[in-house]
Structure 1
Amino acid sequence: MKKICTGHVMFFNRKNERSGVLFQGRFKSVHIDSNDLLLYISAYVNCNNQIHAMGDFAKYPWCSFSEYMGDSSIGCQKDVIVNQFKNVEEYKTFCLEKVVGMKERKEMEKYGIED
């Protein structure tokens, strides 16, 4: 994999008359080791476009939120998440509450403030 990536970077740099790396920093991953973190990540993934002001997450075609709400079926295994709530509306409320906190955190990071 490293050989392929190195070759791609060299090709891209030659083609675009530039130098340096294409991908900044190492890939960041987090081990999901608790149920609370799983629910938080689920809300983040399903509402990410709203956090970054890319439109209504319920109508965004590149996330699974509409499937969680029952509007479409794309094959997600959503029961792991949804079964932890009384109904999908409770999950939607949970997500909306998390979005508010995520937006505030993003705004603070813009000014170099970390929590």
Structure 2
Amino acid sequence: MSYRIIPLVNGQIYHLFNRSVARETIFLKSTDYLRFLEVVDFYRFVEIGMRFSHFKRLETNRRNNFINDLHKSDKKSVDIYTFTIMPNHFHFLVKQLSEDGIKKFMSQVQNSYAKYLNTKYQRTGSVFQEMFKAIRIETEEQFLHLSRYIHLNPLTSYILKNINDLEKYPWSSYMDYMEKRNLSLVSRNIINSYFSNVDKLKEFTVNQIDYQRKLELIKHLILD
């Protein structure tokens, strides 16, 4: 059994990531990505009182009222600053707000999505690798670099080929930072505070694409 070396502490910010077992594609359709985002939005709160699978079976009005009450309560286990979902892995940049908040959030999200995927595609076995990775963010520079790294992931991994497609990629918070969408699960205030406007944030993000692609290529050459 694996044990976590890095402690997960309230008030600290972490880069969280995990990938599928054997790098299997686990987000096959838009409905799969949407389901994952729904689960993330649901389990970022504490004291929920029901499982997501039960929540989905509620009548539409009850479901809307329930999720609205969660949002109004603002009792969260994590604040999510950035995210990107890729065909076989995901990244989050989050702050832990409650005791064991990250551990519970990640466990609930991964377990819920795994059950959904196995049921939908008549699949068996583990979906995600045994333990998600967590890296504590120690400086503002590291925080901003990781936010950029996460947002550039679809481009550096060549899921997208055109830089203009990045702000249209719906499975990343970059779309929200570019003000093309307004997902409630993304906390944008801190990153936005470093930039005078959206254009400055965009410039900061895209000026590292070529460099990050080279790093990604070197990493793959070493690992393969």
Q: What TM-score, normalized by structure 2, do the two folds share?
A: 0.38
Provide Cα deviations, 1:70-105, integer angstroms capped at 9, x if missing partner: 111102211200110121111111111232221110
2:179 to 42, 49, 70: 70
Q: Secondary structure at the match of 2:168?
A: coil
On the 8 A contact 1:44/1:99 being kept in 2, the answer is: no
What residue identity is the alignment partner of 2:204?
Answer: F
1:104 to 214, 217, 220: 214
On the 8 A contact 2:151/2:172 being kept in 1, the answer is: yes
* Deviation for aligned residue 1:51: 1.3
1:12 to 100, 121, 125: 125
* Deviation for aligned residue 1:60: 0.7
1:44 to 114, 131, 149: 149
On the 8 A contact 1:66/1:72 being kept in 2, the answer is: yes
Find the structure with the greater CA-based Rg.
1
On the 8 A contact 2:152/2:205 being kept in 1, the answer is: yes
Partner of 2:194: 84
Q: Which has the higher helix share?
A: 1
Runs of 4+ residues deviating >3 angstroms = none
Q: Secondary structure at the match of 1:54?
A: coil
List alignment gaps of at least 5 residues for structure 1.
6-10, 14-21
Cα distance in 2 for partners of 1:111, 1:69 equals 33
Identity of matched residues, %: 22
List alignment gaps of at least 5 residues for structure 2.
1-106, 112-123
Q: What TM-score, normalized by structure 1, do the two folds share?
A: 0.70
Q: Secondary structure at the match of 1:12?
A: coil
Cα distance in 2 for partners of 1:62, 1:109 equals 24
Partner of 2:168: 59
* Deviation for aligned residue 1:48: 1.2
Higher RCO (Cα < 8 Å, 6 or more apart): 2
Partner of 1:34: 139
> How well do the aligned residues superpose, as a CA RMSD in angstroms?
2.6
Do the aligned partners of residues 27 and 73 (structure 1) sit closer, same or farther apart at CA in structure 2, a change above 3 Å counting? closer
Cα distance in 2 for partners of 1:39, 1:33 equals 11
